[in-house]
Amino acid sequence: MKAHAFREYLSDLGIDPDDIENQAAFIKFLEDHLQKQAQNWTFEDLNHASVQAVVDGMIDRGENTIENLLAMVRYAKLIGNQAMFVTIFQILDGYEAMENLHFKLADMAGEDLRDVIFEDLPLPPLGLSRREKAVYTSRIMSRLEEIFEKNTCRELLKDSLRNLPDEYYLDAHEDYWKTCAGSIDEYLVFKGNKFLDTLKAYQEKGELFFGQEITDEVIAFVDGNPEIGGGVRDGNIIYETKIPYNTKAFLSESDPHKKRYHYCHCPWVKESINNQSLSISPLFCQCSAGFHKRPYEVIFGESINADVLQSVLNGDPVCRFAIHLPD
């Protein structure tokens, strides 16, 4: 383990000294445990599958905490193990979704009906593999659609299952009202250019942007699609198209099925695209529409609606949304 370098890296991030020691100690413990299973192995040797195996062991031992997973993703970044970084990032991305669905169901339908839907399906542990997440989501969505009408399911998911506090979007609020003086068309252009600049900055630093490599081809693809990153307005509707989750792989793939897999962002449904025997209702993508509308709710200070126009879970080539602005 690169203990000294890891402590310095955490210190540069502004981590509390006590937390630095705890994270360094946990990484040391995990690497020692790893070497008992495979002599001379270090974290540098891990790939996607073996990282998931390490996390599975953490779940069994009750070590699958946010703090421990953050320590792992930080150590992965320090040593340059992209497979480890991406695997842990995917575990942390949207981890709160099912717990939030559990709470929302109780608020909307009552605890008794919520417990019927979640019967024999305890909330999944943090660190569950993506395949197991897809199996869990399939069962939950099947039960929801058995009990509720489609519109009720959409209502349940419409505000997203992610934790999206206003604080995340204060920059968007300032960009719209101050930088763009409340002009929606100017804001969309500014937003798109800002997104491109962000991607270019990650490319220049050689860092992953939310788990994906940024190349010249990725930049050109986004630059040629104004609905990605920015958005296109028609009346009081803004049309947004999601950037593929792995744009580099998406662009190089010719098989439509595999392209949809590389496109999908959602860790709770993605693996179903690779498994024909596992079906998940595309209604779940209303959660993603809720994610896309959230910045505008903060900008305008009120709830708004968003529709799913296309989704790869539904067999479409892209994920595209219509965001309805206030009158």
- 170 with 309, same domain: the answer is yes
192 in the same domain as 47? no
- Per-residue pLDDT averaged across 22-45, rounded? 90
Question: For position 31, what pLDDT does the model report?
Answer: 92
User: pLDDT per residue over 80-90, tens digit each?
Assistant: 999 999 999 99
Q: Please determine, for residue 303, whether its predicted confidence score (pLDDT) is greater than 90.
A: yes
pLDDT of 126 higher than 80: yes
Structural domain contains residue 108:
no
Confidence of residue 327 (pLDDT cuts 50, 70, 90): confident
Best CA proximity match to 98, nearest among 112, 117, 70, 73: 117
Domain residues for the domain of 32 are: 3-92
- The pLDDT score that the predictor gives to residue 1 is 87
Q: Which of 65, 92, 119 is the last residue of a domain?
A: 92
Please give the pLDDT value at position 39. 77
Number of domains in the chain: 2
Query: Is residue 178 located within the same domain as residue 283?
Result: yes
Confidence of residue 37 (pLDDT cuts 50, 70, 90): confident
Domain closes at, from 42, 68, 92: 92
Residue 203 has pLDDT above 90, yes or no: yes
Average pLDDT, the chain: 95
39-72: b or e for each residue (b if 16 or more CB lie within 10 Å)?
Answer: eeeebeebeeebbbebbbbbeeeebbeeebbebb
Band of residue 76 on the pLDDT scale cut at 50, 70, 90 = very high
Mean pLDDT, range 31-45, rounded to an integer: 86
Which of these ranges, 95-104, 179-188, 250-259, 270-279, has the smallest mean pLDDT?
270-279
Residues 53 and 176 in one domain: no
DSSP summary character for residue 306: E
Q: Kindly state the tokens that stand for 78.
A: 């320090």
Residues 316 and 170 in one domain: yes
Averaged pLDDT for residues 287-303: 97
| pLDDT at residue 277, rounded to an integer | 85
Q: Are residues 86 and 190 in the same domain?
A: no
Domain assignment present for residue 38? The answer is yes
pLDDT above 70 coverage of the chain, percent: 100
In a domain, 119, yes or no: no
Listed range (37-51, 67-81, 215-229, 240-254) with the worst mean pLDDT: 37-51
Q: Which of 13, 50, 61 is nearest to 29 (CA)?
A: 61
Name the token pair of 322: 């219509």
Q: What is the mean pLDDT of residues 197-215?
A: 95
Q: Are 264 and 245 in contact (CB under 8 A)?
A: yes
Query: 40 pLDDT exceeds 90?
Result: no
If asked whether residues 87 and 180 sit together in one domain, one would say no
Q: What pLDDT, on a 0 to 100 scale, did the predictor assign at position 41? A: 84
Structural domain includes residue 111: no
How high is the pLDDT of residue 276?
A: 82
Is 160 within the bounds of a domain? Answer: no
Q: Is 243 a member of any domain?
A: yes
For residue 258, the model assigns a pLDDT of 96
- Better pLDDT: 42 or 55: 55
Query: So what's the pLDDT on residue 255?
Result: 96
Encode pLDDT of 1-17 as tens digits: 899 999 999 999 999 99
Is 218 within the bounds of a domain?
yes
pLDDT tens-digit readout, 162-188: 999 999 999 999 999 999 999 999 999
Query: Tokens representing 196?
Result: 């491109």
Which tokens belong to 261?
């897999």
Instruction: Assess whether 47 and 182 both reside in one domain.
Output: no
Residue 308 near residue 150, CB atoms below 8 Å: no
Are residues 314 and 187 part of one domain? yes
Q: Of 39, 71, 92, which one is at a domain's C-terminal end?
A: 92
Q: Indicate whether 143 pLDDT > 90.
A: yes
Would 188 be classed as within a structural domain?
A: yes
DSSP assignments along 153-215, one per residue? HHHHHTT-SS---GGGGHHHHHIIIIISTT-HHHHHHHHHHHHHHHHHHHHHHT--BTTB---
User: Are 93 and 27 contacting, i.e. CB atoms less than 8 angstroms apart?
Assistant: no
